[in-house]
Structure 1
C-alpha cells in the first residue's frame, strides 16, 4: 500500500527531469498555445483534455476502486504537467501544436513513467480511433467522388487572402531534401500541411515548414540540414522583399543566378541605411558578386543558420536583408579593405570563411564592414589603486563592452580591507565594493544589444581580500559584497603551489604595502615575497594575515565546486613563457582564460581571434597538413589585417595593439576530428593527436607570421623578445623548468623542422608578438556545425539553449555508425533521450562505440589535462580548458588541479559537474572501458613515482 509520502514512477520521472508545477499553468494562462485539430481548426490548449484521455486509459487497465482512483489521480496530474511542460519548452514564445503531437507526447510520458500496460491501452485506443476516422473518410469519398479536399486560405501582408500554393511547398521540400539520405520529403510536407489552418499568415507558413523538419532532427541528423534549407526560403523572401519593396520569393536554384544582382543591391541599400561603410561601394561589386558560391548556403545545420539569422545578419527595423554568402563576403571585404588588390584578397578571405574551414570570432563577424568595425574579441586591463584610476577603468570597461568586447580585469593593485588611506586618514573597504560596481556596469552596458556584457576579475593569491574574493559568486551572504554576473579567477604564483605541496604557511598582504609583488615573477617573486614575510614578522607591515596554504587551496577548490568560480590560472607559466616578457608583465588572462598578454596603465591588451575548423582538415588517413598550411596562411593574414582596420574605443588599446600586434589563432572541431580518425577521447592515441595537430598549427602559424614580417615588417617591439632570440614556444618550456625545479613534467617530443623555422624567425622577424590562443568558440562552432573548441562531446543527443532559442542537437557521427550496424531506430532514439545522450548503458551498443562516443562526464578529466598539456607546449598564449567531473570530491579536485599545474598548463576555465538527478541516472551506467586506462598522478609530482613519469 503506497503512503502519502511515497511517489509514483510518474512523479519520480517528473522530478528527475526538472519539471515544475507552475510553468504549464503560466503558459496556459498566457493563452499563447493553440492546438490544431485534425480538421484544421484551432482551439486553445486545454490540459484537462489530456487528463481525461489518460484517466480513461488508466481506468480501462486498473478499474475504479478507491485505492486505484487515488493513484490514478496523482499519476495523471503529474504526467499532465510533464507533457505540458515538454510542449511549452519546445515553443517558449507560444505557437501551435497538432493534436497528434500531443498524443505522441502522452505515449512517451506513459512509457517513461513505467506505465507500460496503460500505454498499450492508450496506443490501441488511438489505433481504433484512427481506423474509425479512416472508414468515415472513405465513406464520404465514396459518396462524393467528385469532391476535392479543402485548400487553406493564406492571409497576405495586405490583409487579403489567397489559396495556399501547395505546389510550391512541395517544390521547396523536395529541394531541401535533395541529396540527403534517410529523410522523407512526404513526411515533412504532411506534417507541414497538418500544421496549417485556414487564415494562417503568409510568413507563418514558412515557419511551419521549417518547424516540421526541425521536430524530426532527433530521428535523423540530416533533418537539421533540411530545416536549415527550408529556413533559407524564409530568409530569401525577407531579404529580396526588403530590397525590392515587393513580395518576392526564390528557390535555391533560382538564387544561383540572382545572387550577384542581389549582392550589389544589398551593399548599396545597407550603405544608404548607414549600416555599412560607404567604402564597400567602391569595391568591384560585380566581380565579388560573381565570386559568390550560392551552393554553400546548403552547408549549414539548422542551429547554425538560425544563429546567423538571429544574431549576425544585417537588418533594418527587424527585417534581415543579408543572406549567408553576402554575410561572408561583407566580412571578407572589411578584412581586405586596406589590401592593395583588395578584390582578390576579399575573394580569398571569402573562400575560407564560406567553406567553413576557418571562422573569425563573433565581434569580427558582427562588425566587419560596418561604420564601427570593432573586430577584437578580448581586452585585458590592469586597475590602479586610486579612485580616478579605478573609475577610469570602469568607464573603459563600459566603452569596450559596448562594441562587443569580452573583458579581463586585473584588480590585484587595489588595496585591501583595512589598509590605510593617506588622503582621508581612514581605512579602505577593500577591493570587493569596486568589483560590485564593475559587475553592475557589465549588466548595464551589454555588447551592442547583441549579447550580454561579460567580464572576468582576476586577483593574485597573496592579496589580503582573497578569501572574500573567493565568495563573490555565493548565493548567500551580504548582497552588497556579491557579484553574480561577473566571472572571477585566481591568479596563482608558483610559490603558493609549492607551499601547498610542502604544507607550509602563506601570508596575505595589502598591495599598497608590497607594491612590487604585482610585477615580479619566478625566482624574483619568491625572493621578494620572503623578504616581505620577514618584514611582517618584525612588525614593519601593518595589514597582513597568515593562513595555511593547504587551507586556502581547499577553500579555492570548495568555492570552485560550489559556485563554478573563481577559475584557476597560473601566473608564472603565463609570464616565464611569454615572448614579450622584455617589455612588460602578464597580470591576468581574459574573459575566457586563453589570452596571456601584458597590461599596464598605458596599455590595454587586445587580442583578435579566429579558429581553424580542424574537422575540415582531417580525413580517415590523418591530418591534411598541406590544406592546413594553406588555411593558416590566409587566416593569419586576416587576423593581422584586423589590427590596422579595427575600431578602438579607448586609446590605450590602440597603442598596445599597434605596438605588439598580437593575434590568437585557435581551433575547433577537435572532437569531430577524433571521430573521423576513430580515436576515443580517453586514449593515448587522442593525446598524441592533440600533440601532433597542435604542433602543425603552431608551426604554420609562426611560419605565416614570419612571412608577413618579411612582407610588411616585424612588430615594433620584436627586438629583445623571445622570438628575436630564437626561443619559440616549445623552447620556452626550459625557462619554466629552470624556475619550477621538480614541479614540472611535460612531454617535449616534436616532429617538424623547428631548427629551420627558428633561423627564419630570427632573420625575418615576426609580424605578431603572439600568434595562438584556443578560444571556446561557443557560437562560431555552432555556425560551422562542429564541436566546440577542444571540448569532448557534451551529450550525443540533447536540447541546446542559447539566445536564439532551443535546438535539438544530435551527434551525426554516432548516428552514422549506428546505421551502419543497423542499430538506429525509434527505440535507440528513446534510449538516448532517457540516458541523457549517453550510450554507455545501452546494452546493444558495441563496446568500441561506447568508448568512441563517451561523453564529457564519462571521460576521466585527467585525459583532458593530458591532451591540454600536449597543446600548451606549442602555444605562445593559452587555451580555454573546461574540466568535467561527474561526481567531484575534494581529493579528485585536488589531484586534478595539481596535475594541471604540474603538466605546465597556464590556465583552466569552467569546472562542470552533474546535478544530483543526473548522477542518480548515471549510476546505472557502466563506465567506458577507456576510463580504466586514465593516467594516474600523485597528489603532487614525485620524481621517484613511476606513475608520474
Structure 2
C-alpha cells in the first residue's frame, strides 16, 4: 500500500516509525497507522470496527493526528498530546521543578508554554538570601538551555512559548530578548495584554508596572505606548514577540470555573490552564473534493460530516489511552477533555475551487466550511457525552446541564509536518511560494513545487522549463510575463497577499474555533513599523486571540526559503521561530 510520497517516507523513517535497538527501521508506514488506529480504538466496545474505521480515515489521508500520537501510540512511553502549559512559580525550587517537567515532556515530543509573569522583577528583594532577584529573563534562558539538551523522542527539537504580561516591570527587557537572531532558538515569545492596555495605547494613556511578589504598583507608571512601540519595533525587526489578547482568550474560556488561562502552547493556537494538555488533529480539506460539480458542490459534505465525527471520537479516545507523565496533568486534562480538531490544505482547496485567497468568496467559504465542521464536531461531542458521559468539570463550564463530552473541539494548528505527510498546504496559510525549499531534520532539504500550479500551467499552455527556473528563483508569478490574470489571483503567494487579507482570513476562521488559530500575517520587506502597529490594532478590534507577524527578509535563518541566494529570506510556518509540527 503506497500512502505517502518519497519525501514523506524519509520524514516518517527519521521521526515516526519504530526502530530496533540498533536504530534500524522495523515498521512500515501502514504499520504505523495501524498501530495508532488500534491504540485509539481501545476504549471502544467494538474495537475491531473502530480500529478499521480509524485506519481507513488516516490511510486515506483525510485526517491525521498530531505527531506525538503517530510516534508514540502503543509505545512504552505512550504520551500522545502535543500541547502543554505548565506553571512557573516565584521560587527557585518551583522554577527548576517546572524545568524538569518540561524536559520530560519534550522527550516525548510535546511542546510547552509558560507564563513567567509570577516571577519577581529584576533587583527585587530575595529575603531568604538577603540578595536581589535576577528577574524572569535569565530563567527563560536557562529553560532554553535545558531544551537544547533534550531531543524530542528522536522526532524534533523542543519547542516552548514564553509569555510575559505587559504590566511586569521587566517587560522591555523581555521584548528585546531575541534581538539577536541566534539566541533563544527553542522559544517563541509573546506579550500578554488585555483590553485596558489596548485602550491606553489608543488613547495614549499610562499603565502601572506591578510587582508580582507584592501585587502592588512597582513605583513606576509608564506610557502604554512605550511598551506597544517596543513590541511593534521588535516584531518588525525579527518577527517577535507575538501578542496574546487574554481578555479575548478568557471571554471564550468554556470552563471559567476552572480559572483563567494565562499561557498557550508554542505556536499560540492552544490556550490552556496550568497543567493542562491537549491533543490535536487535522482534516485534509483537499481530500473531500469530488471530481464532479462546481464550487461548493465539489465538496463532499456528507463524507466531511462522517469523518469529522470519527476524528472527534479518535481524539477523545486518546485522552483515555494516553500515558500521562504527571498526575496533575492527567487530572486537569481528563477534567476538561479538551480536543483540537482543525484543518490543513485550505490554500490548495481554494486553488482547486478557483477562489483567490484574498477575496470575499474565500471568506464566505470559511464561514460555511468551518461553521459546518464545528457544528458537526459539537454534535459528535454531544453524542459521545450521551454515550460515555460528559467531561467531569461540565458544571464549572458554559455547558452546565448538557451532555457535551469535550470542553473544546476545534483548533487551527500549523500542521508543518502533517501537511507534508498528507501532501497538501499547511494549515490555513496561503502558499508560501509556488516553488521553494524547506529545511528540516538536521539540514535535510525538501524541494517543493505546487502541483496545482503545474497542472494549471500545463492546461493553460504556459508551462515551460524557463518558467520552472524563474519560479525556483522568485517563488511567485510576480514580474513573470504571459500569465493570465485569473491565474495570478488564484496563485497569489503569502507575501503578495496584503496583511489586511491575512487578518480577515484569520478572523473568519476564529469565529468557528473554540481554541485559537495558528496563522502568520505576512508583510513585504518594505513594510514600515506603522504597518505592524496597524495590524496589531486591527487584530484586537477583530477579536482575535493572538497575532504573529513576519516581515519578509527580517531573518536569515529560515525553515522555508527560495532557491536563489538573493531570495533566501522567507517565512516560517505559522509564525514560529520554533514549531512543534
TM superposition score normalised by structure 1: 0.57
Q: Does 1:649 find its partner at 2:350? A: no
- How much has 1:910 moved relative to structure 2? 4.9
Q: Does 1:591 find its partner at 2:266? A: yes
Residue equivalent to 1:861? 499
Structure 1 residue matching 2:124: 3-state secondary structure? strand
Match of 1:815 among 454, 463, 473: 454
> Does 398-407 or 442-451 show the bigger shift?
442-451
- How much has 1:509 moved relative to structure 2? 1.7
Question: 2-side partners of 1:344 and 1:842: how far apart?
Answer: 53
Match of 1:902 among 528, 541, 544: 541
Q: 1:467-486 CA deviation, whole Å, 9 max, x = no partner?
A: 1111211229xx9xx63432
Match of 1:306 among 1, 6, 10: 10
Larger RCO, structures 1/2 (Cα 8 Å, 6+ apart): 2
Decide whether the 8 Å contact of 1:579 with 1:722 is kept in 2.
Answer: yes
Residue equivalent to 1:511? 212
Decide whether the 8 Å contact of 1:510 with 1:544 is kept in 2.
Answer: no
Residue equivalent to 2:241? 566
- Write the mapping of 1:186-205 to structure 2, written as runs, cut at 5 A: none
Q: 1:602-630 CA deviation, whole Å, 9 max, x = no partner?
A: xx010011001111123443132211110
Structure 2 residue matching 1:499: 3-state secondary structure? helix
Residue equivalent to 2:91? 386
Question: 2-side partners of 1:580 and 1:618: how far apart?
Answer: 36
Question: 2-side partners of 1:641 and 1:684: how far apart?
Answer: 38
Structure 2 residue matching 1:641: 3-state secondary structure? helix
Residue equivalent to 1:502? 203
- Write the mapping of 1:525-564 to structure 2, written as runs, cut at 5 A: 541=217, 543-564=218-239
Decide whether the 8 Å contact of 2:313 with 2:384 is kept in 1.
Answer: yes
- How much has 1:545 moved relative to structure 2? 2.3
Question: 2-side partners of 1:916 and 1:475: how far apart?
Answer: 10
Q: 1:925-946 CA deviation, whole Å, 9 max, x = no partner?
A: xxxxxxxxxxxxxxxxxxxxxx
Decide whether the 8 Å contact of 1:472 with 1:484 is kept in 2.
Answer: no
Decide whether the 8 Å contact of 1:662 with 1:768 is kept in 2.
Answer: yes
Match of 1:723 among 391, 394, 399: 399
Q: Does 1:448 find its partner at 2:153? A: yes
- How much has 1:567 moved relative to structure 2? 1.2
- How much has 1:372 moved relative to structure 2? 1.5
Match of 2:187 among 486, 506, 530: 486
- Write the mapping of 1:338-737 to structure 2, written as runs, cut at 5 A: 338-475=43-180, 483-514=184-215, 541=217, 543-599=218-274, 604-619=275-290, 620-622=294-296, 623-724=299-400
Give the number of equivalent residue pairs.
Answer: 554
Question: 1-side partners of 2:6 and 2:478: how far apart?
Answer: 28
Structure having the larger proportion of residues in strand = 2
- How much has 1:424 moved relative to structure 2? 2.8
Structure 1 residue matching 2:257: 3-state secondary structure? coil
Question: 1-side partners of 2:122 and 2:338: how far apart?
Answer: 36
Task: Indicate the RMSD between aligned Cα atoms, in angstroms.
Answer: 2.1
Question: 2-side partners of 1:460 and 1:510: how far apart?
Answer: 11
Question: 2-side partners of 1:324 and 1:916: how far apart?
Answer: 35
Structure 2 residue matching 1:506: 3-state secondary structure? strand
- Write the mapping of 1:814-893 to structure 2, written as runs, cut at 5 A: 814-834=453-473, 836-886=474-524, 887-893=526-532
Question: 2-side partners of 1:825 and 1:563: how far apart?
Answer: 36
Structure 2 residue matching 1:718: 3-state secondary structure? helix
Q: Which runs of 5 or more residues in structure 1 are unaligned?
A: 1-293, 515-531, 533-540, 725-761, 925-949
Decide whether the 8 Å contact of 2:238 with 2:554 is kept in 1.
Answer: no
Deviation >4 Å, runs of 4+: 915-919
Structure 2 residue matching 1:710: 3-state secondary structure? helix
- How much has 1:889 moved relative to structure 2? 0.9
Structure 1 residue matching 2:133: 3-state secondary structure? strand
- How much has 1:572 moved relative to structure 2? 0.6
Residue equivalent to 1:771? 409
Question: 1-side partners of 2:206 and 2:152: how far apart?
Answer: 43
- How much has 1:556 moved relative to structure 2? 0.4
- How much has 1:670 moved relative to structure 2? 0.4
Q: 1:899-926 CA deviation, whole Å, 9 max, x = no partner?
A: 111101001235242369999x9x99xx
Decide whether the 8 Å contact of 1:385 with 1:415 is kept in 2.
Answer: yes
Q: 1:793-816 CA deviation, whole Å, 9 max, x = no partner?
A: 000011221117212211111111
Q: 1:765-810 CA deviation, whole Å, 9 max, x = no partner?
A: 1111111111110001000000000010000011221117212211
Q: 1:618-644 CA deviation, whole Å, 9 max, x = no partner?
A: 344313221111011110111011111
Pair 1:454–1:910, CA change in 2 (3 A): farther
Structure having the larger proportion of residues in helix = 1
Question: 1-side partners of 2:345 and 2:8: how far apart?
Answer: 14
TM superposition score normalised by structure 2: 0.92
Question: 1-side partners of 2:289 and 2:373: how far apart?
Answer: 13
Structure 2 residue matching 1:507: 3-state secondary structure? strand
Question: 1-side partners of 2:554 and 2:491: how far apart?
Answer: 21
Q: Which runs of 5 or more residues in structure 2 are unaligned?
A: 568-581
